[in-house]
Amino acid sequence: MSSSVSNATSVPRATHVLPAGSWQQERAEGVITLTFDDRHRRRRMMADDAGRAFLLDLPAATVLRHDDGLALEDGGIIRVAARDEAVADASTATVAGRLRLAWHLGNRHIAIQVLDDSTIRIRDDPVMTAMLRDLGASVTRRLAPFDPEPGAYASHGHPTPNATSGDG
């Protein structure tokens, strides 16, 4: 066992996730800001943005979403925030154009985030942004949080009772 995990008994332990919108954010004792890749975890020593250490100890690997809460055994909550990362926002003038973009991205298994104004956000990728422009999209590259759609078989990115049953 690694020393970081063996020393974990002296730090708070986050044992389950409170989905965004299901808890009062003012109850948060801290915030941890992570990229999308760093928000897919099960068990790991972590530190919130103020440097307070805690052990993330979930029953299964879980995608943590922006504004989820990590419930600590002592009753505290740490809010999860999506860190700014390199993204590309694509939009078109028509719904049909946006559907075409989504179809082509989905056909390539590219994770997307659909923004409130129907803009499609992807991780910044020169090949994909060129394809989107070729399809008629206006593409803006920027630094912003990336919180992609969880997918048709996910349940808010959190484990479900049948998630690991193998009953596919």
pLDDT in tens, 47-75: 999 999 999 999 999 999 999 999 999 99
Domain 84-145 CATH (choose: 3.40.50.620, 3.30.950.10, 1.10.10.10, 3.30.70.790) = 3.30.70.790
DSSP structure string for 75-142: S-EEEEEEPEEEEEEEE-SSHHHHHHHHHHHHHTT---EE-TTS-EEEE--HHHHHHHHHTT-EEEEE
pLDDT of 159 > 70? The answer is no
Return the domain boundaries, the chain. Answer: 6-82, 84-145
- Reference 33, options 133, 155, 162, 145; nearest CA is 145
Asked if residues 88 and 124 have their Cβ atoms less than 8 Å apart, the reply is yes
Domain 6-82 CATH (choose: 3.40.50.1980, 3.30.379.10, 3.10.450.50, 2.60.260.20) = 2.60.260.20
pTM over 0.85: no
